[in-house]
Amino acid sequence: MTGGVKGSRGAEIVNRYVLEFFDEHLKGNAGTLLKGPNEAYPEVQFYGNTSQ
């Protein structure tokens, strides 16, 4: 899976999603980013069951 996302944008996206994951699963601070598509990150696609 490759695409036209620039490296700096890709790094920003990965960092944001990883931080959101750890905030939710280690700190218990659930955000909205992992729940489904987000307008701030249109490059990210969700597959499978996104309901939690």
Task: State residue 51's pLDDT score.
Answer: 56
For the whole model, what pTM was predicted? 0.79
Ranges of residues in the chain whose predicted pLDDT is under 70: 1-2, 49-52
Q: Exposed e or buried b for every residue in 8-44, given b needs 16+ CB within 10 A?
A: eeeeeeeebeeebeeebeeeeeeeebbeeebeeeeee
